[in-house]
Chain A
Amino acid sequence: MSVVIYLKAGSELRLRLKPDIDYYTRRVETEEGKSIKEILTDIGVNPGFVAFIYIEGKIRGLDYIPSEGQSITLQPPVSGG
């Protein structure tokens, strides 16, 4: 069974995501039960370029398994100072 989710990203990560819905968002149809890490790999985005995700105002790890219709924001690692 498949689910449809929406991945969002800003800044440099947005270019890797290749949005197709709007400036930030890519629609992804995927097999139910896959983690974000697996989904990113499937669509050609190296999970190493994503530090964490957040969904509905909460930070989650890349092992999170999304549900139908969820919007997931991807955040890159940021390490300068």
Chain B
Amino acid sequence: MSLSDLEKERYFKQLSVQDWDQERLKLAKVLIVGIGGLGSASALYFTAAGVGKLCLCDGDRVKRSNLNRQILYLEESIGKIKVEEAKRRLVSLNPDVEIEAVPESISGQNADELTRDCDIIIDGLDNIESRFLLNEQSVKMQIPYVYGAVQGWQGYVGLFHPPQTACLACVLPKDAQIPDMIPIPGVLPGTIGILQATEAIKFIMGVEKTLAGSFLIYDSQNLTFDIVETEKNPNCSCCAL
């Protein structure tokens, strides 16, 4: 596969980045589950970078309270189906990216179909239960899963690729106490979503150093980034079976 003149012009600034492989990116299919704060940011940058296919999965409609952080949507988007609005915006950014809009929430019924043939799964979810479902799917299909989550001034990013690495269930408990209303300043999912896209793009292109096997903890209030190692739990209820 070679790049057209228009592609060379569009991607000019990134083609000379060390280890960049635009053709490998063009062959990739990325699934983003949840097109809210995290998913808006990552979807924009996957599209700008020129991934081959992007599948957007979200069963919600746009609400006014989304607009402080879900930057794919406009005032006129309120009430409309998120993935359809997102697709419209992304196609106008880069018509070369094939975008599939799936107006559904992930569930046990559709997870196999959604993840079939995708090269990497991006977490744009807003609840822990769905994240564990996505993790189970990642383990089952052996597809790398880029986890992301935000709350207050904190954000987490992880790249799980079992069986080579731990899975999400090796790291996080299923019974943690989550508040009913999660405060989120818009800049946090923007930052974390872009970090997720960065790690996914690096992984797709085969860049040697990624977050696989590690976990990034961002505390924007205290201006710290910490990267810690994860370990496979030999008794993990998900990946040790």
Contact = CB atoms under 8 A, between A and B. Distances in A.
A binds B: yes
B182 A79 contact: yes
Interface in B206-241: 215, 217, 219, 221-222, 224, 226, 228-231, 233
B203 interface: no
User: Considering residues A46, A51, A58, which has the most beta carbons from chain B within 10 angstroms of its beta carbon?
Assistant: A51
Contacts of B151: 76-80
A80 B126 CA distance: 4
A75 interface: yes
B124 interface: yes
B228 A81 contact: no
Interface of B: 34, 36-39, 123-128, 131, 148-156, 171-173, 175-178, 182-184, 189, 215, 217, 219, 221-222, 224, 226, 228-231, 233
Given A57-B229, A78-B155, A79-B128, 5 more contacts: A48-B177, A78-B149, A78-B154, A80-B149, A81-B126
Given A11-B219, A76-B151, A80-B184, A59 B126 contact: no
Nearest to B233: A61
A17 interface: no
Interface residues of A, number: 23
B228 A58 contact: yes
A81 B173 contact: no
Contact of A81 (B124, B154, B176): B124
B161 to A, nearest CB: 16
B177 A52 contact: no
A61 B148 CA distance: 19
B37 A54 contact: no
22 contacts: A10-B221, A11-B154, A48-B175, A50-B176, A51-B176, A57-B229, A58-B229, A59-B231, A62-B173, A76-B154, A77-B128, A77-B178, A78-B150, A78-B156, A79-B128, A79-B131, A79-B151, A80-B182, A81-B36, A81-B38, A81-B148, A81-B149
